[in-house]
Chain A
Amino acid sequence: MSLLEIENLSLKIGETPILRDIDLSIDAGEVMGLVGESGSGKSMTALTVMQLLPNAARAEGRVSFDGIDILAATEDRMCQLRGDDIGMVFQEPMTALNPVKTIGEQVAEGIRWHTGASRADAEERARQILDRVGLPEQKFPLSRYPHQLSGGQRQRVVIAIACALKPKLLIADEPTTALDVVLQAQILELLRDLVDENRMGLLLISHDLAVVTQMADRITILRHGEVMETGETALTLSKQAHPYTRQLALASTHVPERRVFALPLAGRVWAEPTGGGGDEALDPSQTEHSSRPPPRPAELADPPLKGEGKGAPLLDVQNISRAYPGQRLSMFRKAEAFRAVDDVSFSISPGQSTALVGRSGCGKSTLARMILALDRPTGGAIRFMGETLTGKDEATLKPARRNMQVVFQDPYGSFNPRHKVERLVSEPLHLLEKQPSAAERREMVAAALREVGLRADDMDKYPHEFSGGQRQRLSIARAIITRPKLVVADEPVSALDVSIRAQILDLFADLNQRLGVAYLFITHDLTVARAITDDVMIMHEGKIVERGPTGEVLDHPQSEAAKALVAAAPDLHRAIARRLQEQG
């Protein structure tokens, strides 16, 4: 008998069906990957096992854990199971810990509750488990508060809480989605080790097929509350018997068709002149599963836009820095200034798509803010279309702003919910020299909406009437309405499901081609960088440490930072290949 057996589980919240006839089982020591897009019922399945569903939820079917009928268990019985035999890790480490309690208190609390241990004993055990998850006491005493830790460290605390009593089953609901790739790799490795050490069952929930393939022995694919396919991971994903499985796999590795930009850069630049080493990832046995498009024919490579001199860059950033004053240590002493961006120089040609890649906190967004003239650099100069931006006031910045727009990560938070689409999308029009009439304005909004694949009559709707992907289309419509020369996109697809992400990437590629917009694509996702950009810049601790054609840099990274990113980035094809190889 399996550790966890779910049979014919159906769930309704009020009258809305959420799950239908879910079957799923996990053995001790096994990792089960649960994959699906948002709203497919992944989290609800997990919360059913924990019996932490919303009040209005009604579950039917059978859920048995270690011989216990979960759906019939009393709340008291569940309180005994939760945190002791079943642990759970959540997606958002920044909010998963109580801000007013120390990490020691929070880890020890569950230990005391379940074992009745004294405070001192519980703290000793808390110390051990925190040490195990990589937070040794010398550096991270129990008296730390969550806000004193970074996101990755907080996720380690959450894992410590979940694993403190060596549960038989660990449920991890998107445990690494909010983390950058390097941290993601570390956390996944930790989970893997904990599973092996304690023969724990792990239910790993994720929308990222590559992550699940790396980790899971078996995989269950969920869509609209129903199981589409379930089976051994590598086999399921290499056969792709179910059409939805194929669709997911294709979307995860989707590369939009686009012409390669004629690169103005002579070659590659990197900060650490280490001897270039070959990358094992290019081993032919592993790339044969790759569905990456073949190298594009050379005749497709178009010269950059007409009219603009090939030598004149659209954006030219010279030795730019942004320092934040250090915290005051005492009345007379200040800590050294923190240099978020440190002496960065680069340029972007018209129509060129450049990726800015780096770990969280490396200064990517600060750099983008300065380019958009939303933040003033403390040193250096930014020139856009031949004009210096630095030190100008808003009025003189207007023409530049017209030619430079932005798309943000969160398609939910970047619109005022009380305004209609017409008003939201036409917002940048005030930057035009001649204000359009009301009729002209509607015409321009309609054109922009059509450009991004929405209908013209969508302009009379409110943002909440659109899905996440459609909202991101709205953000893009807003960004292109003034016909800008440069669009800065800050993680524009990382909040989207894979199939929608593929569509939005197509849209970006299409606009790049048709309108000749140059992109600065800020992302921590190398797959996205590969898919949509000609050039990549790797940023690390405020500096750009490596730069060159995207494929080349990502295939043969030279700097340590780039190597770390590439090594940590999950790759679906590599992961499948490795799994198949392991099984012979």
Chain B
Amino acid sequence: MTSYLLKRLLIGALTLVVASIVVFSVLEILPGDPARLMLGLNASEATVQVLREQMGLNQPILLRYLDWAGGLLTLDFGKSYTYSVPVAELVAERVVVSLPLALMALFLSTVIAIPVGVFSAQRRGSAADTLSMGAAQIGVAIPNFWFALILIYIFAVWLRLVPAGGFPGWNAGLWPASKALILPAVALALPQAAILARVTRSALLEVLGEDYIRTARAKGMPRSHVLWRHALRNAMIPVLTILGLQFAFLLAGTIIIENVFYLPGLGRLIFQAITQRDLIVVESVVMLLVATVIVVNLLVDLSYAIVDPRLRIRQ
């Protein structure tokens, strides 16, 4: 087990190195000079050159890469060009919004999707199945910002239960802050839940055709018992795979939802940083996301082994 873990960690580290090279080079190729952007259009060539020198932009590319990558290793992400504050600080500020949001959305999508998937699989071919899978189809098809607008209209404008947007900060108290995250979490969770419900249903249906399900039925177990006790756990592998992918998406792929709800999250930070050519911020946040995805994938792989004893490493 330990050697397996070590191997996986090593592969993860290698992936990070490769990712850092790719991220760094892609952003280097992009047009636009950060120094000129910071100084504005009217700045003289000499001033720009001075700033470039200060920012280290005139150094050879390899040196700048090593400098940056070395900084990452010591958790020194450098300083934002536009905000002039350490990138770590900026990221920390945003993570406290994005991470709870992602976790909430993930939780919601799971608790909606799995029961719906099980419900549908149990009634395969019935009207209830067709209806819930039709709803899921719509859920996959409709963009989440549109859901978000509908949710704002119903719950914020009409019922006035939650704020329509903005984030008061965790200092304002647990409830007001969470309240501000409820609608965005629901808006994010619904399309994800729709996908996950479909995956759960099809994985379950496949498992329900297996021989061991018949064995369990021949033992005298009623259908529902067989479904929950025998089928669901066997159907978890594809569900876990999708969950892992969704978490990565929910953490960073929320630019639109963060904009709709005016939330200061990671997605918006990247978006702003890109438009302002704040390369150092973009690079650091992307690397952080890459690291998160690697860790989440590792956790998913480990959870496979918990679900399925055949995947446990033999002693």
Contact = CB atoms under 8 A, between A and B. Distances in A.
A205 to B, nearest CB: 14
B218 A98 contact: no
Interface in B206-230: 210-212, 214-223, 229-230
A36 interface: no
A92 B213 CA distance: 13
Interface string A316-339: 000000000001100100000000
Contacts of A81: 220
A52 B218 contact: yes
Interface string A106-122: 10011001100000000
Contacts of B217: 52, 82
Interface string B222-250: 11000001100110000000000000000
A101 B221 contact: no
Nearest to A55: B125
A312 interface: no
Contacts of B230: 98, 101
Looking at chain B's contact residues, the main secondary structure is helix
A515 to B, nearest CB: 41
A113 B220 contact: yes
Contacts of B215: 90, 96-98, 106, 158, 161
Nearest to B216: A98
A328 B212 CA distance: 32
Interface stretch (B10-18, B48-56, B114-122, B307-315): B307-315
Interface string A75-107: 110011111100110101001111111000010
Q: How extensive is the interface on chain B, given as a class?
A: 20 to 34
Nearest to B3: A331
Given A95-B211, A147-B310, A79 B220 contact: yes
Interface in A200-248: none
B84 to A, nearest CB: 50
A50 interface: yes
Interface in A487-510: none
Given A100-B233, A331-B3, A84 B220 contact: yes
Nearest to B315: A329
Which residue among A52, A75, A99, A161 has the maximum number of chain B CB atoms within 10 Å of its CB?
A99
B211 A90 contact: yes
Contacts of A261: none
A88 B221 CA distance: 13
A326 B124 CA distance: 46
B307 A327 contact: no
A50 B221 CA distance: 12
A95 B220 CA distance: 18
A151 to B, nearest CB: 13
B234 A52 contact: no
Nearest to A171: B218
Contact of B212 (A76, A96, A145, A331): A96
Contacts of A161: 215, 219
Nearest to A164: B219
B214 A90 contact: yes
B180 to A, nearest CB: 41
A284 to B, nearest CB: 45
A336 B212 CA distance: 34
B218 to A, nearest CB: 4
Contacts of A83: 218-221
Contacts of B314: 327
Contacts, number: 76
B219 A99 contact: no
Contacts of A328: 3
Given A92-B211, A95-B211, A327-B314, A100 B309 contact: yes
B71 to A, nearest CB: 34
Contacts of A113: 219-221
Looking at chain A's contact residues, the main secondary structure is mixed
A99 B210 CA distance: 11
Given A95-B210, A95-B211, A161-B215, A100 B220 contact: no
A555 to B, nearest CB: 39
A106 B229 CA distance: 11
A82 to B, nearest CB: 4
Interface in B272-315: 307-310, 314
B304 to A, nearest CB: 11
A409 B122 CA distance: 36
Which residue among B229, B234, B307, B309 has the maximum number of chain A CB atoms within 10 Å of its CB?
B309
A99 B309 CA distance: 7
A81 B222 CA distance: 12
A99 B218 contact: no
Which residue among B210, B216, B219 has the maximum number of chain A CB atoms within 10 Å of its CB?
B219
A109 B233 contact: no
Given A95-B210, A96-B211, A331-B3, A145 B310 contact: yes
A100 B308 contact: yes
B219 A82 contact: yes
Contacts of B309: 99-100, 145, 147
Nearest to A82: B220
B219 A100 contact: no
Nearest to B207: A98
Contacts of B221: 79, 83, 109-110, 113
A90 B222 CA distance: 19
A63 interface: no
Nearest to B213: A98
Contacts of B219: 82-83, 109-110, 113, 161
A459 interface: no
A481 interface: no
A162 interface: yes
A201 B309 CA distance: 36
Contact of B218 (A75, A87, A95, A331): A87
A501 to B, nearest CB: 25
A82 B233 CA distance: 23
Nearest to A145: B309
A97 B212 contact: yes
Which residue among B211, B222, B229 has the maximum number of chain A CB atoms within 10 Å of its CB?
B211
A114 B219 CA distance: 9
B68 to A, nearest CB: 36
B234 A98 contact: yes
A92 B3 CA distance: 35
Nearest to B231: A98
B6 to A, nearest CB: 10
A216 B229 CA distance: 37
Contacts of B233: 100
A146 to B, nearest CB: 8
B220 A114 contact: yes
Which residue among A76, A84, A92, A95 has the maximum number of chain B CB atoms within 10 Å of its CB?
A95
A98 B214 contact: no
A327 B4 CA distance: 14
A145 B3 CA distance: 23
A95 B223 CA distance: 19
A97 B213 CA distance: 8
8 contacts: A75-B222, A79-B222, A90-B218, A97-B212, A98-B212, A113-B220, A114-B220, A147-B310
Interface of A: 50, 52, 75-76, 79-84, 87-88, 90, 92, 95-101, 106, 109-110, 113-114, 145, 147, 158, 161-162, 327-328, 331
Given A99-B234, A99-B310, A114-B220, 7 more contacts: A52-B218, A82-B220, A96-B211, A96-B212, A99-B308, A109-B216, A109-B219
Interface of B: 3, 210-212, 214-223, 229-230, 233-234, 307-310, 314
**3 closest cross-chain pairs (CB), A and B:** A83-B220, A83-B219, A110-B219
